Structure 1
Amino acid sequence: MDSSPHNSSDAKLILASTSRYRRAQLETLNIPFDCVAPNIDESATENELSTALAERLSIQKAKAISILHPEALVIGSDQVAELRNPDGSTSQFGKSLSVERAIGQLKRFSGNTVTFYTGLAIIRQSTNHLFSAVDTVTVKFRRLTDEQITRYVAIEMPLDCAGSFKCEGLGIRLFESIESSDPNSLIGLPLIKTIEGLLSFGYDPLFHQNQ
């Protein structure tokens, strides 16, 4: 992570994402920004650790847009869920994209502890400045019946969420506990790290409020 100071107080802000959840999160800061789809390959490489995958994809998303908008501050983020299997190996989970896979993911998570790695990258191409970080959230899931899982998925249809739940909604019903320094990360964008990154560019959200 490069955290050397750069004055980008007047730079345009772009969120390299079309995620409605990340957009809603960034909107809570009441700062002006645009959203642009990064259109990158989000596949993991062989034996890639979850932390490395989340950070790499975040950087790739931000880079894809920063090349087109070199003066802007471009924010990229990605999330990977990781479950440790009984044999000591780990399995990675992203968006389910179907009801069947969402139900399958939650069945795997039932009664287990799942770690969510949320990557963040902020890039300004013109100054070659990069801020990157990975925030970690640990979730202990309640023991859930098949009926409860099927009912939950039918109600919230969390098919575009890593882990197949919406913790800001009824998904909180699925949890026994959450350990995190920033609960925002579980939704998809680590806001505390985002503010830290913006400040490293000389961009203070307190002085860029929408009118």
Structure 2
Amino acid sequence: MIAPQPPLVLASTSPTRRELLARLGLPFEVHAPQVDEAAQPGEAPAALALRLAQAKAQAAAQHCAARLIIGSDQVAVVGEQVLGKPGDRTGAAAQLALASGQVMLFQTAVCLLNTATGEAATRLVPFEVELRRLSLAQIERYLDREQPFGCAGSLRSEGLGVTLCERMTGDDPTALLGLPLIALCELLRAQGVALP
């Protein structure tokens, strides 16, 4: 007889991450973690994404016993500049002006924490997006219609952000959306979760 799997918890407030996880057809709960997302001095973007994904899972673990907790975080980078969530229109316009005609690298990390065993595993999935050269008018039209103020790099690629793109390169398109499902499936299988 197969032992029942621990319930899943998504440690995120993101509706997109909830939609992505729902694609796997597994029941899950949602917990909103309280985590300071500021980078530490000298912290590389990849290290920041990994640390925050794990911190979100650990924050949820304080409230969720005997669960498999999924934490995820994404950091966007143009050159050496880390682009977080812009928060408002001014920040989003500045981010998109900076990224115009450039390659934006998204470092998306996922952590799966088993609160019963204390075991945590993480994966980092990079994804590159080359943006077209954008005029101020194009940026303003995009911001009028999309309002991506809670998206890393102001690029909501699942919506109108795709119109700003020249090309996309990566192994897992769901990483660009904020939850790399291919990597997550690997982590879930390692914990005995039955997936098709």
TM-score category by the smaller chain?
over 0.9
TM (norm. structure 1) is 0.89
* 5+ residue gaps, structure 1: 1-6, 85-89, 207-211
Match of 1:152 in 2: 142
The structure 1 segments of at least 4 consecutive aligned residues displaced by more than 6 Å after TM superposition are none
In 2, the alpha carbon distance for the partners of 1:156 and 1:122 equals: 31
Match of 2:83 in 1: 93
In structure 2, which of residues 181, 190, 195 is the aligned counterpart of residue 191 of structure 1?
Answer: 181
Distance 1:23 1:141, change over 3 A: same
In 1, the alpha carbon distance for the partners of 2:146 and 2:95 equals: 15
In 2, the alpha carbon distance for the partners of 1:66 and 1:20 equals: 20
Superposed CA deviations along residues 116-159 of structure 1, whole A, max 9, x for unmatched, are 00010000122121110110001111001000001001101111
* CA-based RMSD: 1.2
In 1, the alpha carbon distance for the partners of 2:3 and 2:36 equals: 29
In 1, the alpha carbon distance for the partners of 2:68 and 2:115 equals: 8
2:108 is equivalent to residue 113 of structure 1: no
1:166 counterpart letter in structure 2: R
* 5+ residue gaps, structure 2: none
Match of 2:127 in 1: 137
Distance 1:8 1:180, change over 3 A: farther
Distance 1:190 1:8, change over 3 A: farther
Secondary structure of the residue that 1:163 maps to in structure 2?
helix
Match of 1:179 in 2: 169
Return the offset for 1:166. 1.3
Secondary structure of the residue that 2:169 maps to in structure 1?
strand
Q: State the percentage of identical aligned residues.
A: 38
In 1, the alpha carbon distance for the partners of 2:82 and 2:146 equals: 22
